[in-house]
Amino acid sequence: MISILEENMFLKLTLAGAALLASVALPATAVNAQTIGFSQIGSESGWRAAETTLTRQQAKDRGIDLKFADAQQKQENQIKALRSFIAQGVDAILLAPVVATGWDQVLEEAKEAEIPVILLDRTVDAPDSLYMTAVTSDLVHEGRVAGEWLAAEVAGKDCKIVELQGTTGSSPAIDRKNGFEQGIADHSNLSIIRSQTGDFTRTKGKEVMESFLKAENGGKDICALYAHNDDMAVGAIQAIKEAGLKPGSDILVVSIDAVPDIFLAMAAGEANATVELTPNMAGPAFDVLEAFAKDGTLPPKWIQTESRLYTAADDPMAVYELKKSLGY
């Protein structure tokens, strides 16, 4: 609750700042300055907090008046926020939907009010005529980037891979598994020998990695670890160290998300690569809106964010500090 209060305060300051900017400092840009509503799910994870921070930064940089509403994980709060945005007559709405269903009616209302809606990082089960576009990452692509990196890294040598899956049945787990398999499909020297769920958590990542190490000759048979998120990789790195092996060299470690802690591991040489799930969903959305405001260009219905690969060559400590400043 403290964090919510802080956020509200931050929000007021930002709004005041933005208003100040718009009305006094930069009267020239006030002509095309927009008011945009942003209905955020909440702040349940570091990534989510970073997304909020980046959205505000982007809005400020572009002179956009951002109206921010934290739904605290409730769809009803999001629907209320959307109606209030419509009533205020904002120029556009960004929506990070907490669930996939139940949006048709409020999206209709926005459409009738001729307010474009852009979905961020998740999609909804509604006709795509009801929103302008959806900005999301491609989970399959993320897995593929990780797989392709590993294939290039081992360069033809035989490599037995163990995989830490996300929560069984969740779409990131399914898609990131498929993507990775696609990424290594053309390389017969790569094979996944064990795959088990680590529930996206450090504790389970560590426990499952311990069992992989036991089951595969004390880990001597394992060449690489692929984890569906960085947290499991961080847990597994500890298990590898405790088993007397060197993560990063004895066993290569590649994972997805690019949370700050994996850059610490990378700086220590204990992790090799991570694929970023960017928290900057708002940037592309604002680009689209600007283009639309300028000459009415309609974007495609899906905008895929960049899935950037980070390795030890990318100055991990600097990335770590940057990420930390975003509120991860």
Binding site for other proteins (CB under 8 A): 1-3, 43-46, 49, 165, 168-169, 194-197, 199-203, 206-208, 210-211, 214-215, 218, 231, 234-235, 238, 242-244, 261, 328
User: Nearer to other proteins by C-beta: 32 or 211?
Assistant: 211
Minimum separation from the CB atom of position 164 to other proteins (A): 10
**Smallest distance, Å, CB 204 to other proteins?**
8
Single out the residue of 216, 226, 214, 219 nearest to residue 183, CA to CA. Answer: 226
Cα–Cα distances in angstroms (integers) from residue 268 to residues 157, 271, 297, 315, 322, in the given order:
25, 8, 47, 11, 17
Shortest spacing between CB 17 and other proteins, in angstroms? 24
Collapsing DSSP to helix, strand or coil, 176 comes out as helix
Min separation Cβ 327 and other proteins, Å: 9
Closest to other proteins by CB, 44 or 104: 44
Cα–Cα distances in angstroms (integers) from residue 105 to residues 79, 102, 121, 295, in the given order: 9, 8, 21, 29
Whether the CB-CB separation of 281 and 135 falls below 8 Å is answered with yes
What residues form DSSP beta bridges with 165?
Answer: 197
Q: Check: CB of residue 305 under 8 Å from CB of residue 119.
A: no
Nearer to other proteins, 169 or 300 (CB): 169
Rounded to whole angstroms, the Cα distance separating 163 from 229 reads: 11
* Total residue count of the chain as it appears in this document: 328
Name, in order, each residue with C-beta under 8 angstroms of 297's C-beta and a sequence gap of 6 or more.
291
CB nearer other proteins, residue 119 or residue 234:
234
DSSP element (H, E) containing 273: strand 273-276
Q: For other proteins, which is the closer residue by CB, 45 or 297?
A: 45
C-beta of 35 vs 72, nearer to other proteins: 72
267 φ, ψ to 5°? -60, -35
DSSP string, 61-73: HTT-EEEEEE-TT
Residue 136, beta-bridge partner list: 304
Write down the least CB distance from residue 48 to other proteins, Å: 8
Question: Strand runs (DSSP E) across 101-223, as ranges?
Answer: 117-120, 133-136, 159-165, 190-197
Whole-angstrom distance, CA of residue 128 vs CA of residue 107 = 10
Q: How far is the CB of 301 from other proteins (least distance, A)?
A: 33
CA distance 162 to 252: 10
Asked if 236 contacts 253 with a C-beta cutoff of 8 angstroms, the reply is yes
Q: Report in angstroms how near the CB of residue 281 gets to other proteins at its nearest.
A: 19
CB of 318 to other proteins, least distance (A): 19
